[in-house]
């Protein structure tokens, strides 16, 4: 199709070529093996990779909380694939209580491995990032571990944190950060990489790096202005100010604020409600919508607002006609 578009004369050929490149980029961002069927890109190929593990808890049961300082390194990240009515929701639970869920080499390695599996798994519909430690979301980089690094190790470590946060931002499905506690520095940058943020009113959030004579290194200088505006983002970064949940909601940093419950997981419960709200929607449409919105923040992505030629689209129309709930298959 791209070759034909290049051969087409004048402005039409240029438009078709541009559309072909954008559609190709769209499919690449949707994940490995994705093709838009029909006249746009041909049949969809390759099967999904169904990866499980990293101390996944069974089914959709309540998450296991681990607060002991004896937590094994393999338990620092718990990946749970929910089942039954929550099938399609995946929960990434950070569990480094003894280090306030800060980013260590091991945790970053585990996050990278988990994200790499999730981005190619077409059965995943929504991802929730949360803490399994009460009162803490993530305190940013593990400064105690960093102090022990050789100077030559620091740069690559910071770059890896930035890369993992970017990988989370580029996941093709909706992502929700459930902030039930402290989210400072890289912890808030992790939340900013998610599509939606919800927080308890008691949570504390801030990019506080300037207090240490450094600047946010995980995308905060770019994503915070996009979330709340340039002037206010500068004010918060320059002052290293920390906001509570209500203040964060007032400036647009989070979408929902909840009074904390007795279990300490009010934000997670709200995130789960939102994820359930997303489940009935067409999977391919959700991925393309996210891509169009994200690209639209940088360049005009109106060309991506085409009718998606999928079987799900036909199923949606048929279900509407028959006055029933659609049965989407991600095809």
List, for residues 100-124, the tens digit of each pLDDT value.
999 999 999 999 999 999 999 999 9
221 located within any domain: yes
Given 17, 117, 139, 141, the catalytic residue: 141
**The token pair that represents 40 in the structure block:** 């746009």
Residue 305 annotated among the catalytic residues of the structure:
no
**What value, to the nearest 5°, has the Cα angle with vertex 22 and ends 16 and 27?**
125
Given 193, 209, 266, 267, the catalytic residue: 209
**The token pair that represents 58 in the structure block:** 């069974």
Interhelix angle for 220-228 vs 230-239, to 10°?
130
pLDDT surpassing 50 at residue 63 = no
Looking at the fold, whether 133 and 232 belong to one and the same domain comes out as yes
Q: What is the distance between the alpha carbons of residues 161 and 111, in angstroms, rounded to a whole number?
A: 10
pTM, whole model, 2 decimals?
Answer: 0.75
Looking at the fold, whether 159 and 188 belong to one and the same domain comes out as yes
Looking at the fold, whether 183 and 237 belong to one and the same domain comes out as yes
- pLDDT, tens digit (0-9, with 9 covering 90-100), for 121-163: 999 999 999 999 999 999 998 888 888 888 888 888 889 999 9
Looking at the fold, whether 200 and 285 belong to one and the same domain comes out as no
Looking at the fold, whether 306 and 253 belong to one and the same domain comes out as no
Looking at the fold, whether 271 and 286 belong to one and the same domain comes out as no
Whether the CA torsion 163, 177, 63, 80 is positive or negative: it is: negative
Residue 209 annotated among the catalytic residues of the structure:
yes
What number of other Cβ atoms are within 10 A of residue 231's Cβ? Answer: 9
Report the pLDDT value the prediction gives residue 43, as an integer from 0 to 100: 32
Looking at the fold, whether 129 and 234 belong to one and the same domain comes out as yes
Residue 57 annotated among the catalytic residues of the structure:
no
Domain range enclosing 217:
77-278
Looking at the fold, whether 244 and 293 belong to one and the same domain comes out as no
Looking at the fold, whether 236 and 296 belong to one and the same domain comes out as no
Looking at the fold, whether 180 and 244 belong to one and the same domain comes out as yes
Looking at the fold, whether 285 and 256 belong to one and the same domain comes out as no
> Average pLDDT, whole number, for the chain?
80
Residue 141 annotated among the catalytic residues of the structure:
yes
Given 31, 76, 178, 189, the catalytic residue: 189
Given 186, 187, 218, 220, the catalytic residue: 186
pLDDT surpassing 80 at residue 297 = no
The total domain count for the chain is 2
Q: What is the distance between the alpha carbons of residues 217 and 270, in angstroms, rounded to a whole number?
A: 29
Q: Residue 176: beta bridge partners?
A: 128, 196
């Amino acid at each position: 199709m791209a070759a034909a578009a290049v051969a087409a004369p004048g402005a039409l050929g240029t438009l078709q070529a541009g559309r072909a490149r954008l559609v190709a980029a769209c499919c690449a961002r949707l994940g490995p093996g994705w093709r838009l069927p029909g006249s746009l890109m041909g049949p969809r190929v390759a099967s999904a990779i169904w990866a499980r593990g990293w101390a996944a808890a069974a089914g959709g049961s309540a998450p296991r909380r681990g607060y002991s300082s004896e937590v094994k390194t393999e338990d620092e990240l718990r990946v749970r694939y929910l089942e039954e009515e929550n099938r399609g929701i995946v929960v990434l639970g950070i569990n480094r209580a003894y280090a306030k869920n800060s980013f260590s080499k091991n945790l970053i390695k585990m996050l990278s491995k988990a994200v790499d599996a999730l981005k190619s798994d077409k059965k995943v519909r929504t991802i929730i990032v949360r803490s399994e430690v009460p009162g803490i979301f993530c305190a940013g980089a593990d400064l105690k571990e960093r102090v022990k690094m050789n100077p030559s190790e620091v740069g690559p470590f910071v770059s890896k944190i930035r890369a993992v946060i970017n990988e989370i931002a580029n996941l093709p499905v909706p992502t929700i950060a459930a902030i039930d506690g402290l989210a400072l520095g890289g912890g808030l940058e992790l939340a900013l990489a998610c599509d939606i943020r919800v927080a308890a009113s008691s949570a504390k959030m801030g990019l506080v790096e300037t207090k240490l004579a450094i600047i946010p290194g995980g995308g905060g200088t770019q994503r915070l202005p996009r979330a709340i505006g340039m002037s206010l983002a500068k004010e918060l970064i320059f002052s290293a100010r920390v906001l509570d949940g209500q203040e964060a909601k007032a400036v647009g940093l989070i979408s929902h604020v909840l009074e904390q419950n007795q279990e300490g997981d009010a934000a997670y419960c709200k995130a789960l409600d939102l994820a359930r709200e997303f489940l009935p929607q067409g999977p391919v449409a959700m991925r393309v919508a996210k891509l169009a919105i994200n690209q639209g923040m940088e360049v005009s992505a109106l060309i991506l607002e085409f009718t998606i030629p999928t079987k799900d689209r036909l199923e949606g129309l048929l279900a509407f006609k028959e006055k029933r709930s659609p049965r989407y298959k991600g095809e």
